[in-house]
Every structure is written in C-alpha cells, then in structure tokens.
Amino acid sequence: MTTQKTGKPLAVLVGAGPGDPGLITAAALNWLAQADTVLYDRLANPSFLAGCRSDAELIYVGKGPGAHAMTQEQINELLVKKTAEGKLVVRLKGGDPLIFGRGGEEADALVNAALPFRIVPGLTAAIAAGACAGIPLTDRRLASTVTFITGHEDPTKDESVINYDALAGLDTLVFYMGVGNLPAIAARLISSGRPADTPVALVQNATLPNQRTVVATLATAASAAEANNIRPPALLIVGKVVTLREKLAWTEKLPLFGRTVLVTRTREQASKLTDQLVASGANVIECPTIEIQPPADLAGLDKALAEIKSFDWLVLTSPNGASGVLARMKHLGLDGRDLGSARIAAVGPATADVLNENFLHPDLMPETFTTRALGKALAAQVSKGERILLARADIATNELPDILRGAGAEVAEAVAYRTICPARLPDDALRALSAGKVDWVTFTSSSTAENFLALVKGAGVDLSALKLASIGPVTTETLVGAGLTPTVEAKKHTIPGLVRAILEAVGSSQ
C-alpha cells in the first residue's frame, strides 16, 4: 500500500527536559506548536501538549517499568510511517533525546528510510536532579569528573557491560533508571573498590513539586530506598559531592514545598496564580470551578456599545468583564476612540491590566479592590443625571447599581459575560481531595467558592481538613454563609495578595 504524502516530511527528535514545565526549551515549544503528529513519552510533562495545534495527532508511546505502550521497534516504525506520510512529526522525549533516550536508534531508523530529521537537545535529568537537590555534580574541591551510567541492566546477567572497576575510581557517578537494580549496583561498586561509606543521594521526581531526596551511603542505599518508598523516576548520585547538599539544598526550603494547593480559577486565568504558587514550591492542581462564556444574547451589550459616547462612565468590575467588552468592541469594529468622553472605572489592577493591554487606562480605581469600594468611590464623583454603563457578569448582585443610583446616576446594565459551573471536578482534583492530599484551596471570587462547594457536595470530601484562602471580603462572606471559615483573607485583594496571605500563614505556623 502506498502512502500519499501531504507535505514535506520532517521528523524532529525533541528533548522535553526533566519535567518542570519551565525547563523545556523555546525551540522545543516552537516545534510542538507546528507539529502535525506528536509521539510523546511517559516522562514528558503532559502540560507541554497544550501548546500543540488543536488538530494535531497526539500518540502516547511511553515506556514505564513493566508497562510499555509500544516496543522500541514499534516506535521506530511508527515514527518512520508518520514522517513518510509527509507530516511534521515531533518525537517528544523526556530529558535529552540522546542521553539514555534511544534517540540515536530513532534517528538511525529515519536515516535508513531516507527521511530528514532534526534533533533538539533537552536538559537531561542528571543535571536537573543535582541542581534541584543542592548537589553540584562537579566541584573543584571534591570532583573534577562526572559520569552518567544506565542502571537499567538485567540484574540476572552474569556479567555487566558496564566497567565497574573503572567507575570505582571516578569522582561523581549518576545512575539513570537504577532504582530497581540498586542492590546489584551498590554491590558491584563496593566489590570493585568503591568505599561502602561513600555518600549517595536518591532523587525522585526531580524538578517537580513532589521531588524527594534521600541521602544514604553506598552500603545503605538499597535499604534507604525501600524504607522511603523511592520509586521511578529516580536517579542515584554517588560521590563526595553529595555532602554539599547539607549546605546547598534549596528546594525543600521553599515556603510551600511539600504542600498541595487547589486553584479554582477558570482554566484561562489559572496560570498567573499557579505560577506564583509553584515559584514558592507548591504542588498545584488546577481545578476550574467556573467557565467564562459570552452572553446568551449579545443584543443588549451591542446596543450599549453602539451608544457608548452617550455615557459618562464605563464601569468594569472584573478582568472578564473588561475582556468581554473589548472583544465585543473589536467584533463591532470599535476601538478606544469610540469611547468619546466616557471615562472608565475599574475595580482593581487585574482589570486595569486588561485595559492597559489594549491601550486604555482607567480613570478611577478604588484603594480597596472590591465592588462595594468601587461603588462608593464612583458615587463620590458622579453628578446627578450622569449616565453610567455597567458591564459585568450575568449573575452579579444589585449592590453596585443601587449605590450608583442612590448617588443620582442613571445606570444602564449590560451582560458582558456568563459564568457557568462545570459538570464535575477534574479527576485529579477529586482524587486528591478524597485522599486528603490537598492542603489549601484558593478562591478568587464568590462564584469559584459557590461552584466548588456545589461540585464537592456528596463526594465524600472532608472540608474541615482543608485550609481555605479567600481573595477578599465578598468571597469570605460566601464561604461563611456556607458554614466555612477561611483560614486567610488577602489584605490586598489581588492574586499576589492572596499568595502573600498563604505564605504569611504558613510562615507563622513553622
């Protein structure tokens, strides 16, 4: 059967790095964004696939201990087949493609099929594990050489292809995939002359929030791994440099290291909060409890925007409201010039950021970033009879328009967006909640709180064991109304303020 080519064939063997989404290269992300087909490994962070085209073909070809989706020969054949179809194929591999990644074999298969390929290097796990565990793999005081070795040999073999006699005299040794063969590796090194009291470190899930490091000696490495339930993916670091960890370990000192935080923002808005929590060492599970959609009927918003010059104020109470209004203006062929003399009031800096990105700047923003404070600040400025366009969510309360009408303003309301509750919680969030493995849950609006409580109802989740973080008083009122007391409320009602409140609470408890 002849396969018809659809374009110029090209295979790209791409290193995905050690797992941390921040450690993949810009070149790797660029190729992923263009790919027709992606063949991805178990150790490549699944979040990288979010950058692929919506029509890209994603095929899992991972190999784990005792569980192979495909043999290496089958992967080679599939890589050749997809490339020969005229596709741009990205072979996404954990770490670096050519460091125990079988990338050489895959490139060889492409050469034999006369197909073009490229190789994009990635940060290999050994370097990342050493850095994140506080263990320099080389140090002029202790080690001038470092050697990478596969630990994935068959332990039943009479002889090893690895020259343990040579390794015994080298400085730093890093064994990949060696946990299963750890007793044999340690015994062979000791029998080859490596002192039994040589310091070693086992680093599991390097660079990820659930990274764990266990320090032992060569003689006790196997028992330490068993006692601490060290499982793949993990690396074994052998050598005097391990002693530097006592002073240089930094990952475990991050304020939220070892803590799991549930983020309930919309999927589109979660990244800003997630990034700040991850930077503080947290294991973050994104659990969107609201979805943002355009209004069911756009006529009201369109009519108001067509008459925007007749208003004295445009009031925006959230980033979503600002985005909804600006998106609709663009659709209608309007821009900032069409606002005329209308001034803009924004509830806080996140809303102002959306305006600034579109070359607009708020004329009024309250010192306290709440709808109530916005209403009071605006009421102090409006004159009787001034016209105000209030563009916000479909489920917003009457508090703000009541304050403004009480000040004598004429208020027109338009729905800029709808908030929808998802059908269910994401599986990973529900599993973590049910297992009691969530430490904090963050709420950035009343809607996130209301929907979260509705979604966990009947799921057997013990809410009393959770620490709850509220972005401000309105969200706190919602939680209190449901019989819950937030552990913290942000003093400054912003995402950085919410993170700061959690960090202060954690710091005071240590």
DSSP string, 159-227: S-SS-HHHHTTSSEEEEES-STTHHHHHHHHHHTT--TT-EEEEEESTTSTT-EEEEEETTTHHHHHHH
Distance CA 11, CA 32 (A): 11
Q: How confident is the model at residue 157, as a pLDDT?
A: 60
Q: How confident is the model at residue 5, as a pLDDT?
A: 44
How do residues 442-462 score in pLDDT, each as one tens digit? 999 999 999 999 999 988 888
Helices and strands, counts by H and E, the chain: 18, 22
Q: How confident is the model at residue 458, as a pLDDT?
A: 81
Q: Residue 129, class by beta-carbon neighbours within 10 Å (0-12 exposed, 13-18 middle, 19+ buried)?
A: buried
- Look at residue 118 and give its three-state secondary structure: strand
Is residue 171 pLDDT above 80, yes or no?
yes
- φ, ψ (nearest 5 deg) of residue 369: -90, 65
Beta strands in 299-458 (DSSP E): 313-316, 343-346, 387-393, 410-420, 440-443
Nearest to 37 by CA among 82, 73, 81: 82
Residue 130's Cβ-side half-sphere holds a number of Cα atoms within 13 Å equal to 25
How do residues 126-163 score in pLDDT, each as one tens digit? 999 999 999 999 999 999 999 999 987 654 566 778 99
| C-alpha distances in Å from residue 76, one per residue of 96, 101, 107 | 17, 13, 9
| C-alpha distances in Å from residue 105, one per residue of 100, 109, 135 | 11, 6, 31
Q: How confident is the model at residue 6, as a pLDDT?
A: 53
- Look at residue 474 and give its three-state secondary structure: helix
Distance CA 195, CA 178 (A): 19
More confident of the two residues 65 and 165: 165
Q: How confident is the model at residue 4, as a pLDDT?
A: 42
How do residues 302-356 score in pLDDT, each as one tens digit? 999 999 999 999 999 999 999 999 999 999 999 999 999 999 999 999 999 999 9
Q: How confident is the model at residue 63, as a pLDDT?
A: 76
Q: Which CATH architecture has domain 126-251?
A: 2-Layer Sandwich (3.30)
Helix (H) or strand (E) holding 238: strand 234-238
Is residue 230 pLDDT above 50, yes or no?
yes
User: Is-catalytic flag, 275?
Assistant: no
Mean pLDDT of the chain: 93
User: Is-catalytic flag, 428?
Assistant: no
Tell me the residue type at 290: I
Over range 6-20, report the average pLDDT.
91
DSSP 441-460: EEESSHHHHHHHHHHHTTTT
Instruction: Answer whether 260-290+422-509 and 294-420 agree in fold.
Output: yes
Is residue 429 pLDDT above 80, yes or no?
yes
- Give the CATH number of domain 260-290+422-509; options: 3.30.70.360, 3.40.50.300, 3.40.50.10090, 2.60.40.10: 3.40.50.10090
281: region left, alpha or beta (phi > 0 left; psi from -120 to 50 alpha): left
Do the Cβ atoms of 448 and 477 come closer than 8 Å? Answer: no
- Give the CATH number of domain 10-123; options: 3.40.50.620, 3.40.710.10, 3.40.920.10, 3.40.1010.10: 3.40.1010.10
How do residues 232-268 score in pLDDT, each as one tens digit? 999 999 999 999 999 999 999 999 999 999 999 998 8
Return the domain boundaries, the chain: 10-123, 126-251, 260-290+422-509, 294-420
Q: How confident is the model at residue 1, as a pLDDT?
A: 28
Q: Which residues are 149's β-sheet partners?
A: 175
Helix (H) or strand (E) holding 323: helix 319-331
Q: How confident is the model at residue 308, as a pLDDT?
A: 95
Distance CA 206, CA 119 (A): 24
Domain 294-420, CATH 2.40.50.140 — does that match?
no
Angle between helix axes 72-84 and 103-112 (nearest 10 degrees) is 50
Instruction: Choose, from 5, 8, 41, 154, the residue flagged as catalytic.
Output: 41
Structure tokens at 469: 């973080």
Q: How many CB atoms lie within 10 A of CB 101?
A: 22
How do residues 174-191 score in pLDDT, each as one tens digit? 999 989 899 999 999 999
Instruction: Choose, from 20, 63, 81, 302, the residue flagged as catalytic.
Output: 63
Is residue 125 pLDDT above 70, yes or no?
yes
17: region left, alpha or beta (phi > 0 left; psi from -120 to 50 alpha): left
Q: How confident is the model at residue 510, as a pLDDT?
A: 62
Percentage above 90 pLDDT, the chain:
87
